[in-house]
Amino acid sequence: MADVKLNHIKKSYGKVDVLHGIDLDIKHGEFVVLVGASGCGKSTLLRLIAGLEEITAGELVIDNKIVNHLDPARRGIAMVFQSYALYPHMSVFKNMAFGLKIAGQNKRAVREKVEQAAKILQIDHLLDRLPRELSGGQRQRVAIGRAIVRDPNVFLFDEPLSNLDAALRVQTRVEIGKLHKDLGATIIYVTHDQVEAMTLGDKIVVMNAGRVEQCGSPLELYRYPQTKFVAGFIGSPKMNFIEGHVDKTATEYLTITLEDGTQVQAHVDTSGIQEGTKVTVGIRPEHLFEGRNLPGQLSGDVKLVEHLGEVTYIYMSLADGTEVVVRGEGESEVEVGDKLQASFAPESVHVFNMDGKALPRIRRSAEIPADNPAIVTASQA
Ligand X SMILES: Nc1ncnc2c1ncn2[C@@H]1O[C@H](COP(=O)(O)OP(=O)(O)O)[C@@H](O)[C@H]1O
**Stretch of 31-39, 82-90, 290-298, 354-362 contacting ligand X, by CB under 6 A:** 31-39
Interface with ligand X (CB under 6 A), residue from 44, 82, 153, 348: 44
As to burial, measured by CB atoms within 10 angstroms (0-12 exposed, 13-18 middle, 19+ buried), residue 295 is exposed
Angstrom distance (rounded) from CA 118 to CA 254: 58
The one-letter code for the residue type at 247 is: D
Using an 8 Å Cβ cutoff, are 21 and 8 in contact? yes
Residues sharing a CB contact under 8 Å with residue 127, sequence separation 6 or more, in sequence order: 91, 92, 93, 96, 114, 115, 118
Interface with ligand X (CB under 6 A), residue from 2, 24, 32, 41: 41
Which residue, 77 or 190, has its beta carbon nearer to ligand X? 190
| CB of residue 43 to ligand X, shortest distance in Å | 3
Which residue, 34 or 258, has its beta carbon nearer to Mg ion? 34
Which residue, 37 or 354, has its beta carbon nearer to Mg ion? 37
Which residue, 37 or 109, has its beta carbon nearer to Mg ion? 37
**Stretch of 1-9, 35-43, 287-295, 360-368 contacting Mg ion, by CB under 5 A:** 35-43
User: How would DSSP label each residue in 289-336?
Assistant: EET---SEEEEEEEEEEEE-SSEEEEEEEETTS-EEEEEEETT----T
Residue 44 found at the interface with Mg ion (CB under 5 A): no
Residue 293 found at the interface with ligand X (CB under 6 A): no
Q: Using alpha carbons, list the distances in angstroms from residue 337 to 109, 300, 323.
A: 69, 10, 14
Which is it for strands 31-35 and 254-258: parallel, antiparallel or unpaired? unpaired
Residues sharing a CB contact under 8 Å with residue 272, sequence separation 6 or more, in sequence order: none
Which residue, 11 or 284, has its beta carbon nearer to Mg ion? 11
Q: Using alpha carbons, list the distances in angstroms from residue 152 to 79, 322, 366.
A: 9, 50, 39
| CB of residue 209 to ligand X, shortest distance in Å | 9
Angstrom distance (rounded) from CA 23 to CA 32: 13
Interface with ligand X (CB under 6 A), residue from 38, 251, 293, 379: 38
Which residue, 39 or 295, has its beta carbon nearer to ligand X? 39
**Stretch of 41-49, 73-81, 96-104, 121-129 contacting ligand X, by CB under 6 A:** 41-49
Interface with Mg ion (CB under 5 A), residue from 43, 191, 262, 270: 43
Other C-beta atoms closer than 10 Å to the C-beta of 368 total 14
Interface with ligand X (CB under 6 A), residue from 26, 35, 43, 340: 43
Residue 144 found at the interface with ligand X (CB under 6 A): no
**Stretch of 38-46, 198-206, 224-232, 275-283 contacting ligand X, by CB under 6 A:** 38-46
Q: How many residues does the chain have?
A: 381
| Residue 38 touches which member of ligand X, Mg ion, none, C-beta under 5-8 Å by kind | ligand X
Angstrom distance (rounded) from CA 106 to CA 209: 46
Binding stretches for Mg ion (CB under 5 A):
43
Binding stretches for ligand X (CB under 6 A):
13, 16, 18, 36, 38-44
